[in-house]
């Protein structure tokens, strides 16, 4: 009996085709560090409830030549368990996530019967870390944070023998994006046909830096006093550090991830597990010696003007145009290739830290998108997330263009620029 098939919206289809056409993959992983008791039975039960609550979490990919569809998947979520080195040096324990995350990120979701997400569990006696890895076609960072919130609420309910209130299956009744974002729009730009990609064999890595709660509050206060958004301040500091290290040229492109949920009519809930973000490009000249306020103000003003002029919807139109003639994964890669630059994915998430006897202590994410740049077009990606009033910064980089030491130096430079704001 054939699997039940489910249509994709335009962004989901584009993400799956890009993933299939890349030499790596486009997974992302959320890392949730916790303290408290967590048992295998309770975790499996909570994961099963999550699957029942979201259509895309119980889906797989069904490929027919160069075309794909979501299909029903009854398989449970795979959980890989490894010991958490809590008794080792604190520095060793704080970095235990990285090799586990890299292994999970680099393992492609092939579809054809397997769920499109998996869990890696660094399990200790009184704490550990849960790493949730998703195919980027079924979720984005915002919905993944909603999933973490729900997961730990379910774990807390299982621990005290209660039941968490049920949630609606938002995915099953989501409007088509062409209707959700329907509005008069200009003609989409022409789709470029570029040469075949030359980045086969590239691989990625990550750096992580964190600001204390007082330092985070100081950065946010500095930003508010100048009428800026936090992403402009972080974006500017990261760009200055990258240009100072000569990873990017002074004339570069700032690429910001924009979430479309707030643009939908009616607005879509953040619990929705569907892919709902596009990128907006801002050409910019960066002077690493100039005051940070100048670049942050410029980025803020230009991005706000682009948003007012409908740049996210124009980006959605461009994606739609690129898919119009049913391209193969390789053809879509050629049409969507970007001119290097920077992607930021930033946010403050309303995720609680206390869930019964379990306390969430650390929360951040890494996105593999491997690889997305040609060898002569360096790309660095900033991920930033504020949780428990503490800012976590992650730097994604192509290993053949920037080693881990270099990435750590760039994040340290960025952190220094933020800490010096007065």
CATH code of the domain containing 65: 3.30.559.10
Q: What is the pLDDT of residue 34?
A: 94
pLDDT in tens, 73-126: 989 999 999 988 866 677 788 889 999 998 888 888 877 789 999 999 999 888
pLDDT in tens, 295-333: 999 999 999 999 999 999 999 988 988 898 888 888 888
258 and 212 belong to one structural domain: yes
321 and 387 belong to one structural domain: yes
335 and 407 belong to one structural domain: yes
Orientation angle between helical segments 292-308 and 230-244, nearest 10 degrees? 120
150 and 40 belong to one structural domain: yes
Contact assessment for residue 380 and residue 204, using Cβ atoms and an 8 Å cutoff: no
Q: Is the pLDDT of residue 370 over 70?
A: no
Q: Is the pLDDT of residue 340 over 60?
A: no
223 and 325 belong to one structural domain: yes
Query: Mean pLDDT throughout 265-292?
Result: 90
What range defines the domain where residue 398 resides? 177-350+373-419
159 and 184 belong to one structural domain: no
341 and 415 belong to one structural domain: yes
Q: From the CA atom positions of the chain, what is the Rg in Å?
A: 21
Distance (Å, whole) CA 145 – CA 261: 15
Q: What is the pLDDT of residue 4?
A: 64
Torsion of CA 282, 285, 289, 291, to 10 degrees: -50
182 and 114 belong to one structural domain: no
Distance (Å, whole) CA 277 – CA 315: 10
How would you classify the pairing of strands 67-72 and 5-6?
A: antiparallel
Q: What is the pLDDT of residue 270?
A: 86
- 2: pLDDT confidence band, cut at 50, 70 and 90? very low
Residue 10: inside a domain, yes or no?
yes
**At residue 384, what are phi and psi to the nearest 5 degrees?**
-135, 135
186 and 77 belong to one structural domain: no
Q: What is the pLDDT of residue 374?
A: 60
Query: Mean pLDDT throughout 196-223?
Result: 86
pTM: 0.92
Boundary of a domain, candidates 131, 154, 173: 173
Orientation angle between helical segments 141-160 and 40-53, nearest 10 degrees? 130
Residue percentage of the chain with pLDDT more than 70: 90
Listed residue (170, 137, 167) closest to 266, CA to CA: 170
């Amino acid at each position: 009996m054939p699997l039940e098939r489910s249509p994709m919206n335009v962004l989901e289809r584009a993400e799956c085709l890009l993933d299939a056409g890349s030499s790596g993959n486009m997974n992302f992983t959320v890392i949730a560090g916790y303290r408290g008791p967590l048992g295998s039975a309770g975790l499996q039960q909570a994961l099963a409830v999550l699957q029942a609550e979201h259509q895309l979490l119980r889906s797989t990919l069904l490929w027919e030549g160069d075309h794909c569809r979501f299909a029903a998947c009854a398989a449970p979520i795979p959980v890989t368990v490894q010991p958490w080195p809590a008794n080792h040096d604190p520095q060793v324990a704080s970095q235990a996530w990285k090799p586990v995350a890299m292994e999970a990120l680099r393992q492609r979701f092939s579809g054809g019967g397997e769920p499109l997400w998996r869990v890696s569990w660094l399990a200790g006696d009184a704490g550990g870390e849960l790493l949730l890895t998703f195919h980027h076609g079924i979720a984005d960072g915002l919905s993944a944070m909603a999933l973490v919130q729900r997961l730990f609420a379910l774990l807390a309910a299982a621990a005290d023998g209660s039941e968490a209130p049920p949630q609606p299956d938002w995915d099953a009744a989501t409007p088509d994006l062409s209707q959700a974002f329907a509005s008069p729009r200009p003609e989409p730009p022409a789709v470029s046909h570029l040469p075949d990609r030359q980045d086969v064999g590239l691989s990625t890595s990550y750096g992580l830096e964190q600001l204390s709660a007082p330092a985070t509050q100081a950065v946010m206060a500095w930003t508010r006093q100048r009428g800026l958004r936090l992403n402009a301040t972080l974006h500017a500091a990261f760009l200055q550090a990258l240009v100072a290290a000569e990873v990017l040229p002074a004339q570069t492109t700032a690429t910001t991830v924009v979430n479309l949920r707030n643009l939908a009519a009616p607005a879509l809930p953040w619990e929705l597990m569907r892919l709902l973000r596009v990128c907006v490009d801002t050409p910019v000249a960066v002077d690493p010696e100039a005051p940070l306020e100048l670049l942050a103000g410029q980025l803020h003003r230009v991005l706000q003007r682009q948003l007012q002029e409908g740049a996210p919807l124009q980006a959605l139109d461009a994606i739609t145009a690129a898919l119009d003639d049913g391209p193969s994964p390789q053809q879509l890669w050629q049409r969507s290739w970007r001119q290097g630059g920077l992607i930021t994915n930033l946010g403050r998430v309303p995720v609680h830290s206390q869930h019964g006897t379990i306390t969430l202590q650390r929360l951040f994410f890494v996105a593999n998108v491997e690889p997305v740049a040609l060898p002569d077009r360096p790309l660095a990606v900033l991920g930033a997330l504020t949780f428990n009033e503490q800012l976590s910064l992650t730097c994604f980089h192509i290993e053949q263009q920037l080693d881990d030491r270099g990435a750590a130096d760039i994040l340290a430079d960025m952190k220094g620029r933020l800490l010096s704001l007065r």
